Amino acid sequence: MQKYKIGDHVMYGFSGACEIVEIGTLDFAGPDKVYYSLKPVYDARDTIYVPVAKEDEIVRKVIGKKKAQELIKQIGESGLKGELPDREGCEDILHSADGLEVSNLIRLLRNLRIQNKKNHKGLNIADAKLLTYAERIVTSEMAVSLAISMEDAMGMLNTALG
């Protein structure tokens, strides 16, 4: 029994919010393997295939409008917390798709960028990618939940982060 259905919006890895557009077999995988076909919200040209047998790799369904509005409020009320975790810790936060945790990671990475600019540096490539993924995860979920564009979601996130 499949946990998700066509049309569901789900959170998946570093891709953030994706829509399940198809469930079925793939020509290259054989007739006995069934896959979810996911289209990331930020790039509908991309397709991600997740075996139904490994559907636990899909974090969860996208939050609803009310929860998204609450999340934005919580992001605005929370401040910078803790220190930047190691790479594995950052990836764990991203894979959790926890909006509040991911938004704190965004704050930490943006703060690091500001500190580095004082020394005429920016973020290293790995940290810049983490920041891109983190922003994508939060904004794509807000865009779907609130039925707004990714640009508008980024604007809301930037306002909430201060």
25-45 pLDDT, tens digit per residue, is 887 766 678 899 999 998 878
- What is the reported pTM? 0.88
For the chain, the straight-line distance linking the first and the last C-alpha, in angstroms and rounded, comes to 44
φ/ψ of 11, rounded to 5, equals -100, 125
Q: Which tokens sit at 66?
A: 């009310």
Name the 3-class secondary structure at 12: strand
pLDDT tops 90 at residue 1: no
Buried b / exposed e across 34-45, counting CB within 10 Å, b at 16+? ebbbbbbbbeee
Domains in the chain with CATH codes: 9-61 (2.40.10), 65-161 (1.20.58.1290)
94-104 pLDDT, tens digit per residue, is 999 999 999 99
137-157 pLDDT, tens digit per residue, is 999 999 999 999 999 999 999
Instruction: Calculate mean pLDDT across residues 65-74.
Output: 95
φ/ψ of 39, rounded to 5, equals -110, 115
The dihedral formed by the CA atoms of 41, 69, 114 and 132, expressed in degrees to the nearest 10: -10
Instruction: Supply the pLDDT for residue 81.
Output: 85
